[in-house]
Homo-oligomer: A and B are copies of this chain.
């Protein structure tokens, strides 16, 4: 690959001049610039980022740590992150941590080794200490990591309230929550709390069913079938849309009609669900806004490592009413 010296030789100028052209530094005549650009084009030259970064420039790389990308919610989030960061001249290293603490640790180490400019963390298998000693700008999505790391999330509590309201409004009496097995710091806790608090107002009964996040759709389907076949509930709140789809699937298999026999509210409201399952009533998280805020904060910290930021940024959610709560 061509180096700066090759360009200098071909353009008939000094290496310093080439560097000046690249960095637009010092004073340069149009003629020289043209010559240099010409040479660059001719050799298809790309300044070696490694060398530049080593010399102190930013890497223009952001690490993105998420549970995965095959799920529509995180898929859309990654897409947004990529899109918005690209426009600001940054690229992303994608880290799917799954629910594997060791992998997340490895990735964290690697991101440090690669001197990324910052990290967006949306996966949280690790303890606080591990994130504290990273020493890079970090923004967290939806979970507490450490006192210095700002959290961006949507209003989970209100989302829970909205879900409850929708079910109550549609005349459900025997309510059921289906949620992932919840970690202590999990955001879904607030969804539950909001839901429960709202229900207190109408004095209705409800049950909670926990299904591990890592359960396959088949397993989840079985548990849901078990639940539905008792025919004891007439209103269900799933804390994610995919689980809600399984409920629809199982209900249909059991000959139960939605919304006549059972009402249903999901959570997340991704573009995917809105386009391909508009029938589902769901609480929409404003993914694009969440990402916008995360990136804004992150880049502030990239420019100034010690810049003061709030601890928490909470964005509003919105109920999308479909036919499952008609």
Contacts and interface: CB of A to CB of B under 8 A. Distances in A.
A247 to B, nearest CB: 11
A74 B43 CA distance: 34
A32 interface: no
Nearest to A271: B70
Number of identical monomers bound together in the oligomeric complex: 2
A272 interface: yes
A44 B111 CA distance: 13
Contacts of A109: 46
Contacts of A91: 93, 95, 107, 110, 114
A228 interface: no
B69 A276 contact: no
A220 to B, nearest CB: 9
A300 interface: no
Contacts of A94: 64, 78, 82, 92-94
A34 interface: no
A41 to B, nearest CB: 11
A109 B68 CA distance: 27
B245 A276 contact: yes
A217 interface: yes
Contacts of A223: none
Given A54-B51, A110-B91, A78 B86 contact: no
Interface of A: 1, 44, 46-51, 53-54, 59, 61, 64, 68-72, 75-76, 78-79, 82-83, 86, 91-96, 103, 107, 109-110, 112-115, 133, 135, 216-218, 242, 245-246, 249, 271-272, 275-276, 278
Given A50-B50, A86-B96, 7 more contacts: A49-B114, A50-B53, A50-B114, A71-B75, A86-B103, A91-B95, A94-B94
